[in-house]
Amino acid sequence: MVPVSHDHTARLAALDAASLRRTRRVVDAKDGPHLQVDGRALLSFASNDYLGLSQHPALIAAAQEAAGRYGVGATSSPLVCGHEAPHDALEAELAAFVGRPRALYFGSGYLANVGLVPALVGRGDAVFSDALNHACLIDGVRLSRAEAHVYPHVDLAALGERLAASTAQRKLVVTDAVFSMDGNIAPLRELLSLCEQHDALLMVDDAHGFGVLGPQGRGTAAHLGVADAPRLVYMATLGKAAGCAGAFVAGEADTVEWVMQRARTYIFATATPAMVAAAVRASLKVIAHDEGRRDHVAALTRRLHTGMAGLPWRLLPSDTCIQPLIVGENQPTLELAAALRERGLWVPAIRPPTVPEGTARLRVSLSAAHSHADVDRLLQALADVST
């Protein structure tokens, strides 16, 4: 018998009552955003494959070639024997791409953030975190045991006051570069000047800007002209626009060396398979040289944003690939997603705790693999269900 205090049946029923139970669907086949899901064709606006690279032939070939050479598993932590030639070459290329002296490749963005924050600050230090930061930054802050200050979303005045009032030995500001559920861009230049003023470090999570924003897709920091700021610790993930898996941190050589010495999620986890690192290397080449993909997804984004403006839902002021439609309550949000699914469209409903109470939404995300006709199909379906 499960102890009464652990009655999971009742706890699940409470999730159901609040429309908060999450489910998974089985994707049987995919061709870009065109999926076979539980035997049905669905056009997806759910992925973060912003550049449409997850099925790119050059990436698949690179992974296959590396699998032939290194096998499919790295067999140990990078600090034991898991750091193979593709990982080493990838780190050098990532550092050069984002214009920093050194980079370190992690197994995932979640692992990177949960390892990075505690590597940079601890007891006696203070960390300042934007209220809309991604869950894994929040977890990293908690694990660090540094004094945590959550400042109102992109409120520079409030952040400045808290930095000024802090007597902590080390101060770290952490922020998403592109907020994952809203699509807006953090004011990195202004954040850096506050950090300058208060002798703090700025750690930026560019999960949604890397590959998409900035010259050649070098990311949000490059887009805002601050990529080489010495106070910036840059982190980005490689499972979204890069179409593969993993994440990296880039910064001053000794900062990155320190992270390698201290980040427990780097030290105590088996290295990512070399075939994935090889795929990321191939992805970087496409990201840097295939400007057409960024142009195309930017055109789709403008078309969608303009088209959605005529619909009855509140739209957030985003010009990134993330275009949220705010519905409000959980149940109507789920109903809207279900109505779209009946029309063959997959748009995820995002509910609390991922977003604040009362701001449940459809998170529409675009990919270079979408066509203009795909976007028009979504707009037509939204217009149909709104009447």
Burial of 227 (0-12, 13-18, 19+ CB in 10 A): buried
Sign of CA dihedral 253, 257, 262, 263: positive
Comparing CB distances to ligand PLP, the nearer of 115 and 239 is 239
How many amino acids of this chain bind ligand PLP (CB under 6 A)?
14
Comparing CB distances to ligand PLP, the nearer of 117 and 222 is 117
Comparing CB distances to ligand PLP, the nearer of 150 and 339 is 150
Burial of 334 (0-12, 13-18, 19+ CB in 10 A): middle
Q: Which stretch binds ligand PLP (CB under 6 A): 36-44, 205-213, 273-281, 327-335?
A: 205-213
Catalytic-residue membership of 289:
no
For residue 106, the minimal CB distance to ligand PLP (Å) is 8
Contact in structure between 128 and 163 (CB atoms under 8 Å): yes
Distances (CA, A) of 157 to 8, 123, 127, 130, 143: 44, 26, 16, 12, 27
Sign of CA dihedral 100, 106, 109, 112: negative
Q: Which residues, including other chains, have CB under 8 Å from residue 3's CB and lie 6 or more apart?
A: none
Q: Which stretch binds ligand PLP (CB under 6 A): 123-131, 203-211, 358-366, 372-380?
A: 203-211
For residue 250, the minimal CB distance to ligand PLP (Å) is 15
**Interface residue with ligand PLP, options 49, 84, 176, 290 (CB under 6 A):** 176
Phi, psi of 299 (to 5 degrees): -65, -40
Options 83, 134, 149, 240, the catalytic residue: 240
The string over 59-89, giving b where at least 16 C-beta atoms fall within 10 Å of a residue's C-beta and e elsewhere, is beebbeebbeebeeebeeebeeebbbebbee
Q: Which stretch binds ligand PLP (CB under 6 A): 80-88, 204-212, 308-316, 338-346?
A: 204-212
Asked if 237 interacts with ligand PLP (CB under 6 A), we say: yes
Comparing CB distances to ligand PLP, the nearer of 102 and 240 is 240
The rounded distance, in Å, linking the Cα atoms of 165 and 256 is 29
- The closest alpha carbon to 115, from 247, 237, 262, 233, belongs to 262
Binding mask 270-299 for ligand PLP (x = CB under 6 A): ------------------------------
For residue 237, the minimal CB distance to ligand PLP (Å) is 4
Kindly state the tokens that stand for 180. Answer: 């994952």
The rounded distance, in Å, linking the Cα atoms of 157 and 331 is 36
Comparing CB distances to ligand PLP, the nearer of 240 and 281 is 240
Asked if 205 interacts with ligand PLP (CB under 6 A), we say: yes
Comparing CB distances to ligand PLP, the nearer of 208 and 293 is 208
Comparing CB distances to ligand PLP, the nearer of 241 and 347 is 241
Site for ligand PLP in 242-271 (CB under 6 A): 247
Catalytic-residue membership of 371:
no
Site for ligand PLP in 83-122 (CB under 6 A): 108-110, 113
Instruction: Tell me the residue nearest to ligand PLP as measured from the CB.
Output: 109
Options 129, 180, 283, 365, the catalytic residue: 180
Q: Which stretch binds ligand PLP (CB under 6 A): 201-209, 294-302, 322-330, 350-358?
A: 201-209
Burial of 357 (0-12, 13-18, 19+ CB in 10 A): exposed
Phi, psi of 181 (to 5 degrees): -105, -5
Catalytic-residue membership of 166:
no
Query: What DSSP string describes 309-372?
Result: TTSSSEE----SSEEEEEEESHHHHHHHHHHHHHTTEE--EE-TTTS-TT-EEEEEE--TT--H
Site for ligand PLP in 131-160 (CB under 6 A): 134, 136
For residue 350, the minimal CB distance to ligand PLP (Å) is 12
- Active-site positions read 180, 208, 240
Using CB under 6 A, list all residues that contact ligand PLP: 108-110, 113, 134, 136, 176, 180, 205, 207-208, 237, 239, 247
